[in-house]
Structure 1
């Protein structure tokens, strides 16, 4: 296995995207803007309702950390993704998609079971609400992850959605130990307000004694720190991370290095689908930081990439689009 810049661990999910009305979310008792875990039968029932009454937009390989890894690799980095898929057609589609994007995976990621799926419901204001059946990824353990490349990586990246799984948290604990022993920097994303609300103890375990880089959005930051303004939230998060990035939707992002903080403005775009925007932001930010760019430049690139993701349906851009955007960004900065 070749050396990689980024070693990521996360859930493997196939997204089914629908454009839905706010009334539909209310009728189905779904909390807008969050992720809700469910079982296979309940998701199948919802899927049938969606197909009957809402607009189907297509299928895409998803998973928060996977989306981040795709952005990171498409911009020019190298990456490995540790996950668990079933030995079914969706599992093959999922891993083939990552490999086609240049991301390394391990054969041991495939095991008996059903690959996880996520119903991504995009409301008229472009907000995404997710109804997730984890399938076999709910049982992700260290046995499905080849940690070889982690020992020489630059970054370990952990998604907060893993906070709901006892076995996944144990795998992350092992990954954190390997990272610390080999001077690999650790980044983590809180992932979703629902993780903060319902899996707070799991997030605390993933964060452990702190990380080098923490990603979250404004709602997650306020909820996790139990504060009512972003400045107080940032002050508390600084105790957990060397660098903290709080995304502010169309307003850009707030960044801190424990001593200083600053805000980078957002870009004016027509928002279509917020699914995957935060993931793309993290991937672009990590890529730029790994290339030696300043925090400001890394944030500006991340804002550019994530705003393009928001402007279309689906959690990822066409692979070639990332490089095109990077080239235009570099010309503007020259």
Structure 2
């Protein structure tokens, strides 16, 4: 059955505010470079006032992936909760301008729209300070089973698992996709997220609810509770039809039906900002799946998209990904 959308992404709808920062500034604010912390609205306003001028763009992990998918010419929609406020309007306008259909109505009873204050130091490390606000209020009612059934792949981010109603919304989406015979893709999001929800994530995998699982090297080791990368991959791979693991400068691997494919990282001119690298890798890979490409080509598309986004600030591609990928995969 033909789908209206190739991919439908569900995640935390967060406005990213990205600005340069020095190591001294991080020390003054007591921030651990390269970390992600959750903050309240008061701290978000305080830190925002101290930041250098920055760029504001609709983000969140799955939102970045959705924008990358659309940039590759693949039809995509997004579900994520925003408030009926200025940042909520910015989020909707920005993601729709990127070519993504935004399917969630803004609400006035969920607090303020979420934002992530991203401080980028000269070594390209990003330190993230996240106020989840309305994003954490995604309710099961926001999930339309008909929309899920009309998407070839539903892609979900593990970050949403922290609140019971958001978790319920994700499971509702998974069940709707399974009932419609569609694929479910899931990203583990963060090793700390795994430490909080490892049992639930393993249950989803063992129950066969995930068709494509995305992880990075640290996350797969954390999930499998193994000290060795290869052992961790061997532990998890038999339980998911497709396992995709990124390894930063070491490239990525995918395991599907016992076949293991490897891909080198794409060469880059300069590493500027690693924000969104994993999100854009997932975008490229999912776009390849939607286009019916072979496993190594899906990995290649992921590598191309990730390499483009780490050479500038922000988690949105600035070069034409369709042109970049056509030149490599023609």
Task: Work out whether the TM-score is over 0.5.
Answer: yes
- Matched with 2:7 is 6
188, 194, 197: which is aligned to 1:196?
A: 194
Q: Which moved more, 1:171-180 or 1:57-66?
A: 57-66
Structure 1 unmatched runs, 5+: none
Q: Is the 8 A contact 1:85 1:137 kept in 2?
A: yes
| TM-score, with length taken from structure 1 | 0.90
SS at match of 1:80: strand
Distance in 1 between residues matched to 2:180 and 2:20, nearest whole Å: 45
Q: Which moved more, 1:34-43 or 1:83-92?
A: 34-43
- Matched with 2:313 is 313
Cα offset, 1:122, TM superposition: 1.9
C-alpha change, 1:168 and 1:207, in structure 2 (3 Å) is farther
Q: Which moved more, 1:306-315 or 1:226-235?
A: 226-235
Q: Is the 8 A contact 2:79 2:104 kept in 1?
A: no
Q: Is the 8 A contact 2:39 2:129 kept in 1?
A: yes
- Matched with 2:100 is 103
- Matched with 2:142 is 144
Q: Is the 8 A contact 2:143 2:172 kept in 1?
A: no
- Matched with 2:44 is 43
Distance in 2 between residues matched to 1:246 and 1:84, nearest whole Å: 28
SS at match of 2:317: coil
Residue by residue over 1:282-328, the C-alpha shift from the partner in whole angstroms, topping out at 9 and shown as x without a partner, is: 0111011111111101111110111010000001013x612222332
SS at match of 1:292: coil
Q: How many equivalent pairs are there? A: 325
Tell me, yes or no, if structure 1 residue 134 matches structure 2 residue 135: no
C-alpha change, 1:67 and 1:116, in structure 2 (3 Å) is same
Distance in 2 between residues matched to 1:35 and 1:207, nearest whole Å: 26
Residue by residue over 1:101-144, the C-alpha shift from the partner in whole angstroms, topping out at 9 and shown as x without a partner, is: 22222353444331100011223332222110011111111222
Residue by residue over 1:67-113, the C-alpha shift from the partner in whole angstroms, topping out at 9 and shown as x without a partner, is: 11111112111112111100001111111112222222235344433
Cα offset, 1:23, TM superposition: 4.3
Tell me, yes or no, if structure 1 residue 70 matches structure 2 residue 71: no
Q: Is the 8 A contact 2:22 2:122 kept in 1?
A: yes
